[in-house]
């Protein structure tokens, strides 16, 4: 009996060892041997939805994959990676001298995927629908179809950022949507659009395919056969698919991307994270003393080692911010004079200490700073617990501030809780995103306009730090009224100087636009050397990528 | 018959209590759906769009009891409203599009675990002290104690990525459409092997141990001795006398587990990218999607109650003592 048991034990141990040893082997070729004959579908993962519901409504369901990118198009496309604007459904436009209106001239010969011609009435109806379903565009007084190829927008106030704001609205067909009873609830299961890939050739909960638009206005740019979206319940499944080569485009966040993704096929795979996401700020609740003092804010900002924050917290995928608070999208607006003359985004413990001393926050016996009333200078840093990279950033900042004698406690909670604190103004400080529109107008408005300030206790969705400066209001109004580019740049420089002077928030780093792709099955991707678009699948520039990619044909 | 009616009445009351809790509990959670959506999209929603969003979600300011009465009315007309986290898809469509896969995965895994676990338990108890009895229950419990996602990822990595024996994700080959053909059923079964195996591995230990323990107690009964004394074959005594009686607790546990199958297997869906209701439920709770949460909890509640009701009926057939009392 004992011998028998021993044999069984030995056999089990060997089996277990064999299994462990096998799993240590490198993965045997995961590439599926599908023939590269040019008809392969561009395969893209979507990691935050789990399953797909068949709803291609661009107004009520704008985040659905490829609806606003492959099916519907806008009048122009602004590329934040290089600051260029590409005319798309509109070929020319004229801005009224006092920025109270714009006239767009639509492209000839564009047809909807059902064969009907694209006309100005479609634009009029689209704006009506957008305002009905989601609101916004409050500055628009009226939209008129002057003739079938000309649309005129009239505003109730001067608003120069409207050019790109209106230009990037997706356009839907009037002849389909006019018959819809409730545009908010309309599922639009068989979408009609002007985009390159509008035909739903297959739709399942786990994936769907989009085929070519038979009436596309740029048929020579429809080189790829179609698009296939795969659904995943979280980043892990999507990252596995990317690492294994089962998808061509990986727009999600991949940790340790060099080893996890690029190293598996370094000849074909690459990643590029342009700093064109929204600026990530360390915001302070300016309704709570001592955060209402600009010098205190600057001092706290000076204690942060932004190099460490970007290297350790963000794994080196982005770069430190400067005093203008502008991301890489706004390189053409950036005033270098402001950048050079301003010091509070560079690490300077001594300078920070001096500013705090002047504000009455002095070092105590134990090396910790105390407020004028004797209480220790300690506060919370709010961050959502699921954003592990931002939690790391918070930890780095807490360490940096400890060297100044300030105690910062990282309070990582559920994002819903954190944002509720921001909205009601009950937070101390925290990490937060900012507005990311084609011009810096919305960013500065959200950062320091009195119009966006709401009292503590009243729920707000903008300007959580509740700082307002009447000078900023005046400059923003001037910017909105200026239609001359030179005038706009001059006003924007003054806004940057004001931001650098008052430090409403402490900008940390521009959020990187994640994106990785492989040249194994498709070529023609945007890269750092050729930034004709970003590698995002949810941006307006995605359609530029879709119309530039070419399939690889293996001989 | 009276027994049946009494049970039915009990289940109706349980149902009403459940749907009332389903309504009130999510509303005790702090925050509101619009705020959560803003947090989730992190700056992609413009502040001037928030008001229209709130209106389109149908979030009402009416007093809670008024909303509750409207909710009761909507349940009985089958109108479950529109989901907020998957706006503007109706809740019925969200649930019905994936509940089939959840049920397939859960049911297949459950049946396999129950059958294997119970058979092993019966054999282990019958041959007490043997190899099966000494090694297998601790081994299975040991395997089942591993964190589920570790086990699932290990299986996926070993058999899917390294050896390439099984598909890595999804319920069937991407791009094919479901149809009632042998090839498609085979494809679905092939994709089901790894996810189901992972669930079976963690749960079979519990079934085996439970069945074994009940069998050991049953084996000590007098009627087993009587059957053996009558000269019946050992196998017949084991199955027709001992196992039949030892099965009763397993049947009850099976009924309960069957109901909860429709709650979805969240971790399985995450690891194997299997379409199912688990991830949808998680997203619904995180986004305070009241209509979808209500719809899903209603589905789970109904499934559990129906499963238990069916088990009660089966119990009457299996256990004559219940019929008499």
Name the residue facing A136 among B41, B46, B272 (closest C-beta): B46
Q: Say if strands A378-384 and A429-432 run parallel, antiparallel, or are unpaired.
A: parallel
Structure token digits, residue B252: 């009850």
β-strands A207-212, A84-87 pairing: unpaired
DSSP state at residue A277? S
In order of A286, A326, B35, the CA distances from A294 in angstroms are: 9, 19, 29
Contact A247, A237 (CB under 8 A): no
Contact between A273 and A514 (Cβ < 8 Å): yes
Between vectors from CA A210 to CA A208 and to CA A213, what angle results, nearest 5°? 165
A236, closest residue in chain B (CA to CA): B271
**d(C-alpha B279, C-alpha A45), whole Å:** 16
Neighboring chain A residues of B49 at a CB cutoff of 8 Å: 134-136
- What is the rounded CA–CA span in Å between residue A278 and residue A435? 6
Q: What is the pLDDT of residue A9?
A: 63
Give tens-digit pLDDT for A170-185: 999 999 999 999 999 9
B39/A28 CB distance under 8 A: no
Digit-coded pLDDT (tens) for B183-224: 999 999 999 999 999 999 999 999 999 999 999 999 889 999
* B contacts of A127 (beta carbons < 8 Å): none
Q: Which helix (H) or strand (E) holds A16?
A: helix A2-23
Contact A270, A277 (CB under 8 A): no
Question: What is the residue whose two structure tokens read 């929204």?
Answer: A278
Express each pLDDT in B9-23 by its tens digit: 998 999 899 989 988
Whether residue A262 contacts residue A270, with contact meaning beta carbons closer than 8 Å, is answered with yes
Q: Which residue in the set A135, A232, A452 is minimally distant from B49, CB to CB?
A: A135
Distance CA A189, CA A204 (A): 13
Between residues A35 and A203, which one has the greater pLDDT?
A: A203
Q: How confident is the model at residue A75 (pLDDT cuts 50, 70, 90)?
A: very high
| Rounded distance between C-alpha atoms, residue A209 and residue B173, angstroms | 13
Say what the pLDDT of residue A28 is.
Answer: 35
Sign (positive/negative) of CA torsion A508, A511, A516, A522? negative
Smallest CA–CA distance, residue B23 to chain A, in Å, is: 21
Dihedral through CA A108, CA A109, CA A112, CA A118, nearest 10?
A: 30
> Residue A202, SS3?
strand
Higher-scoring residue by pLDDT: B47, A58: A58
SS3 A179: coil
CB spacing of A50 vs B171 below 8 angstroms: no
What is the longest distance spanned by two Cα atoms in chain B?
Answer: 85
Residue A160: strand pairing partners: none
As a whole number of angstroms, the distance between CA B275 and CA B171 comes to 7
The residue among B124, B307, B117 whose CA lies nearest residue B200 is B117
Query: B203 vs chain A: nearest CA distance in angstroms?
Result: 20
CB atoms B162 and A230 under 8 Å: no
- Helix, coil or strand: residue A539: coil
Query: What are the tokens at B275?
Result: 């379409």
**A72 min Cα distance to partner chain B (Å):** 18
Q: Chain B window 55-94: which residues touch A at a Cβ cutoff of 8 Å? A: 56, 82, 86-89, 93-94
User: Measured between beta carbons, which residues in chain B are less than 8 angstroms from residue A237?
Assistant: 169, 270-273
CA of B163 to nearest chain A CA: how many angstroms apart? 7
Best mutation target among A414, A461, A537 (most B Cβ atoms within 10 Å) is: A461
Cβ atoms < 10 Å from Cβ of A258: 12
| Residues on chain A touching B44 (C-beta within 8 angstroms) | 63
- Which chain B residues contact residue A423 at CB under 8 A? 35, 38
Task: State the pLDDT confidence band at A10, using cuts at 50, 70 and 90.
Answer: low
Q: Which pLDDT does position B325 carry in this prediction? A: 60
Interchain contact, B87 vs A459, CB within 8 Å: no
pTM, two decimals, is 0.88
Taking residues A55-83, what's their average pLDDT? 94
Q: How far apart are CA A295 and CA A45, in angstroms?
A: 46
Chain A neighbors of B269, CB-CB under 8 A: 50, 233
C-alpha dihedral sign at B203, B206, B207, B209? positive
CA A355 to chain centre: 35
- What residues of B are in contact with residue A233 (Cβ under 8 Å)? 266, 269-270, 273, 278-279
Nearest CA in chain A to B95: A53
How far, in Å, CA of B159 to CA of A263, rounded? 22
Judged by CB atoms closer than 8 Å, whether chains meet at A28 and B164 is answered as yes
Q: Is the Cβ pair B270, A236 closer than 8 Å?
A: yes
Mutation choice for A interface testing from B32, B33, B42 by most A CBs within 10 A = B42
Q: What count of Cα atoms within 13 Å lies in the side-chain half-sphere of residue A166?
A: 29
CA-CA distances (angstroms) from residue B214 to A10, B63, B207, B211, B322? Answer: 32, 52, 11, 5, 19
* CA A77 – CA A85 distance, rounded (Å): 6
The partner residue sitting opposite B175, judged by closest CB among A57, A205, A228, is: A228
Report chain B residues whose CB lies below 8 A from the CB of A462: 47
Residue pair A427/A380 in contact (Cβ under 8 Å)? The answer is: yes
More confident residue, A10 or A433: A433
Which residue shows structure tokens 């609806």? A67
Tokens 């419990």 correspond to B141
Tell me the C-alpha distance between A460 and A453, whole Å.
8
Residue A7 pLDDT class (50, 70, 90 cuts): low
Q: What is the pLDDT of residue A416?
A: 84
HSE, side-chain direction, 13 A CA sphere, residue A502: 19
Grade residue B263 by pLDDT with cuts at 50, 70 and 90. confident
* Residue A21: closest C-alpha in chain B: B158
Q: Does the beta-carbon distance from B283 to A50 stay under 8 Å? A: yes
Burial B169-181 (b: 16+ CB within 10 A, else e): bbbbebeeeeeee
Q: Are A302 and A351 in contact (CB under 8 A)?
A: yes
Across the interface, whether the CB atoms of A53 and B89 are under 8 A apart is answered yes
pLDDT at res. A14: 62
- Residue A33: enclosing H or E segment and its boundaries? none
Rounded Cα–Cα distance for residues B136 and B149 (Å): 22
Give the tens place of pLDDT for each residue, B133-165.
899 999 999 999 999 999 999 999 999 999 999
From the CA of B36, how many Å to the nearest CA of chain A? 5
Inter-chain contact B275–A60, Cβ cutoff 8 Å? no
- Quick check: bond before A525 cis, omega within 30? no
ipTM reported for the complex, 2 dp: 0.89
The distance in angstroms from the start CA to the end CA of chain A is 64
For A477-489, b/e burial (b = at least 16 CB within 10 A) is bbbbbbbeeeebe
- SS3 state of residue A388: helix
A280 neighbors A313 (Cβ within 8 angstroms): no
Q: Count interface pairs A-B at CB distance under 8 A.
A: 169
The pLDDT value given to residue A496: 95
Q: Do A30 and B161 touch (CB under 8 A)?
A: yes
């Amino acid at each position: 009996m004992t011998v028998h048991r021993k044999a069984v034990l030995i056999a089990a141990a060997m089996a277990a060892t064999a299994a462990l040893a096998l799993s240590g082997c490198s993965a045997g070729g995961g590439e599926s041997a599908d023939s590269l004959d040019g008809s392969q579908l561009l395969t893209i993962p979507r990691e935050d939805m789990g399953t797909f519901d068949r709803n291609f409504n661009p107004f009520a369901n704008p985040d659905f994959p490829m609806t606003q990118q492959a099916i519907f198009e806008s009048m122009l496309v602004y590329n934040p990676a290089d600051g260029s604007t590409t005319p798309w459904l509109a070929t020319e436009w004229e801005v009224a001298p006092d920025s109270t209106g714009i006239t767009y001239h639509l492209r000839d010969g564009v047809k909807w995927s059902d064969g009907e011609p694209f006309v100005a009435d479609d634009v009029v109806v689209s704006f009506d629908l957008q305002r009905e379903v989601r609101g916004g565009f409050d500055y628009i007084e009226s939209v008129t179809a002057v003739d079938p190829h000309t649309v005129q927008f009239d505003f109730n106030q001067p608003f120069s950022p409207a050019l790109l704001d209106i230009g990037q609205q997706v356009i839907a067909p009037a002849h389909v949507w006019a018959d819809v009873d409730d545009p908010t609830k309309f599922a639009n299961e068989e979408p009609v659009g002007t985009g390159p890939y509008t035909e739903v050739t297959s739709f399942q909960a786990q994936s769907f395919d989009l085929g070519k638009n038979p009436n596309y206005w740029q048929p020579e740019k429809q080189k790829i056969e179609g698009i296939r979206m795969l659904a995943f319940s979280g980043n892990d499944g999507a990252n596995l698919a990317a690492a294994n080569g089962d998808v061509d485009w990986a727009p999600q966040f991949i940790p340790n991307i060099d080893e996890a993704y690029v190293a598996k096929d370094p000849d074909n795979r690459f990643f590029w994270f342009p700093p064109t996401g929204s600026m990530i700020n360390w915001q302070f609740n300016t309704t709570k003393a001592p955060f209402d003092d600009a010098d205190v804010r600057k001092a706290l900002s000076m204690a942060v080692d932004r190099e460490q924050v970007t290297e350790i917290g963000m794994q080196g995928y982005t770069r430190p911010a400067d005093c203008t608070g502008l991301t890489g999208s706004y390189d053409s607006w950036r005033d270098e004079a402001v950048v050079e003359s301003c010091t509070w985004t560079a690490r300077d413990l001594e300078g920070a200490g001096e500013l705090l001393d002047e504000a009455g926050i002095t070092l105590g016996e134990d090396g910790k700073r105390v407020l004028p009333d004797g209480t220790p200078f300690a506060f919370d840093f709010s961050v959502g617990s699921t954003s592990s990279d931002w939690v790391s950033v918070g930890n780095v900042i807490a360490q940096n501030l400890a060297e100044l004698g300030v105690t910062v406690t990282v309070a990582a909670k559920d994002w819903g809780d954190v944002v509720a604190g921001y909205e009601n103004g009950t937070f101390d400080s925290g990490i937060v995103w900012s507005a990311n529109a084609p011009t810096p107008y919305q960013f500065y408005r959200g950062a320091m306009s009195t119009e966006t300030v709401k009292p503590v206790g009243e729920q707000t969705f903008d300007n959580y730090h509740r700082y307002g400066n009447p000078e900023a209001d005046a400059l923003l109004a001037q910017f909105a009224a200026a239609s001359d580019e030179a005038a706009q740049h001059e006003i924007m420089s003054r806004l940057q100087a004001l931001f650098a002077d008052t430090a409403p928030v402490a900008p940390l780093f521009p959020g990187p636009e994640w994106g990785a792709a492989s040249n194994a099955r498709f070529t023609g991707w945007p890269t750092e050397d050729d930034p004709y678009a970003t590698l995002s699948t949810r941006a307006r520039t995605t359609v530029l990528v879709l119309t530039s990619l070419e399939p690889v044909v293996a001989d | 018959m009276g027994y049946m009616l009494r049970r039915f009445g009990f289940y109706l009351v349980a149902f009403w209590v459940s749907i009332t809790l389903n309504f009130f509990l999510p509303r005790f959670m702090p925050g509101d759906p619009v705020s959560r959506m803003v947090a989730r999209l992190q700056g992609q929603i413009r502040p001037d769009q928030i008001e229209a969003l709130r209106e389109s979600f149908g979030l009402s300011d009416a007093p809670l009891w008024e909303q509750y009465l409207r909710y009761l009315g909507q349940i009985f007309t089958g109108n479950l409203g529109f989901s907020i986290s998957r706006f503007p898809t109706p809740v019925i469509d969200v649930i019905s599009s994936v509940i089939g896969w959840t049920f397939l995965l859960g049911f297949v895994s459950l049946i396999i675990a129950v059958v294997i676990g119970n058979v092993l338990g019966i054999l282990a108890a019958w041959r007490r002290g043997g190899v099966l009895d000494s090694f297998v229950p601790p081994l299975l419990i040991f395997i089942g104690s591993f964190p589920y996602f570790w086990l699932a990822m290990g299986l996926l990595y070993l058999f899917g990525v390294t050896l390439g024996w099984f598909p890595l994700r999804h319920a069937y080959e991407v791009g094919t459409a479901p149809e009632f053909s042998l090839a498609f059923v085979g494809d679905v079964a092939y994709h089901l092997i790894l996810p189901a195996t992972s669930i079976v591995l963690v749960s079979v230990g519990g079934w085996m141990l439970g069945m074994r323990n009940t069998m050991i107690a049953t084996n000590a009964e007098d009627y087993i001795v009587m059957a053996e004394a009558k000269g019946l074959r050992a196998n017949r005594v084991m199955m027709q006398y001992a196992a039949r009686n030892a099965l009763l607790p397993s049947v009850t546990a099976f009924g309960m587990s069957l109901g909860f199958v429709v709650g979805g297997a969240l971790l399985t869906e995450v690891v194997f990218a299997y379409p199912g209701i688990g991830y949808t439920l998680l997203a619904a709770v995180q986004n305070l999607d009241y209509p979808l949460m209500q719809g899903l909890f209603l589905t789970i509640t109904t499934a559990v109650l129906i499963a238990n009701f069916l088990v009660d009926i089966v119990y009457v057939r299996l256990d004559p003592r219940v019929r008499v009392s």
